[in-house]
Structure 1
Amino acid sequence: MEVLDRAEISVDAGIAGDHRGRRKPGSTGKRQVTLMERGDWEAATAAIGRTIPWQERRANLLVDGFDLPQVPGTRLRIGAEVVLEITYECDPCVRMDALVPGLREAMLPDWRGGACTRVVAGGTIAVGDTIRIET
């Protein structure tokens, strides 16, 4: 995992450099970009009594100061250009327990594992960009 200050996002490829976000032919791209709230990560790691860098979760974006909607179909605008549509809850995988036993279960309540999204509009995002719900 690589922590970046800015990234390019596109409808076809998700986040530049992350092959998992690439839309395959015939796919709807339901998991192009994953987002997780800083507070949720901190709550999960506090529940198991450990401090773990957020990137170990392997989410694409860490969101701070914004409560991610838990409603599929909700569209989020990040910065001036990027629009992501929430598709479903990002369930934590067994890899979380490989990091620390109990972490996966600590991430299960209230979408703590984050949200999966599809890219509706691409562009550049950067640390500090405003996130808002599109109406």
Structure 2
Amino acid sequence: MARIAGIARHDRPFGPVEVLDSAQLIEGQGVAGDFRGTLKAGSDGRRGVVLLEAADWTEATAECGAELPWWERRANLLVEGLDLPQQPGAKLGIGTGVLVEITQECAPCERMEALHPGLRQALTPDWRAGARARVLRGGSVAVGDEIRIELQ
């Protein structure tokens, strides 16, 4: 079973990351309390939640010799056991009722290079830096919740 292995948020750009056992995902926005999850004027919610595959983070950090916890990526949901779809429009169910839609690749930024030389490049191929998603149906999520691809 694929599952949520970690949850994190940060309340402002470059602010400290808070690692959580559970959180609320807000429809049309993102993780409650996360600055990306706050709908701003003109926003369509496409960037609400960032999902990161645990295996991709492990491979990328090993490739460049970094020893960093996953939340340094500043993603919201760490996913184990699921190859995230690399196509906008793919839908993922989380737990018993949350539904998110992949909107785009989350390209690695210069901050990753500042964390460790070579990390940005190691995160570049094959959506390794994660996927952005819009929250279509909100609700509670917790570490250990099942995550699955929803058939169209």
Match status 1:123 vs 2:142: no
Partner of 2:76: 60
How far the C-alpha of 1:27 sits from its partner, in A, is 2.4
Corresponding letter in the other structure for 1:35:
L
Aligned equivalents of 2:22, 2:63: Cα separation in 1: 31
Q: CA RMSD in A?
A: 1.0
CA contact (8 A) 2:28 2:136 kept: no
**Which of 34, 55, 60 lines up with 1:39 in the alignment?**
55
CA contact (8 A) 1:13 1:19 kept: no
CA deviation vs aligned residue, 1:49-101 (integer Å, no higher than 9, x gap): 12111100000011011110101100100001110000000000000010011
- Is there any run of 5+ residues in structure 2 with no aligned partner, and where? 1-16
Partner of 2:13: none
CA contact (8 A) 1:86 1:115 kept: yes
Corresponding letter in the other structure for 2:51:
L
Aligned equivalents of 1:132, 1:102: Cα separation in 2: 31
Corresponding letter in the other structure for 1:43:
E
**Which of 85, 96, 105 lines up with 1:80 in the alignment?**
96
Q: Secondary structure at the match of 1:96?
A: helix
Aligned equivalents of 1:65, 1:9: Cα separation in 2: 21
Aligned pair count reads: 135
Aligned equivalents of 1:21, 1:29: Cα separation in 2: 8
CA deviation vs aligned residue, 1:23-45 (integer Å, no higher than 9, x gap): 22442211000000000000000
Match status 1:29 vs 2:45: yes
Compute the TM-score of the two structures, normalised by the length of structure 1.
0.96
- Runs of 4+ in structure 1 deviating by more than 3 angstroms, as ranges, are none
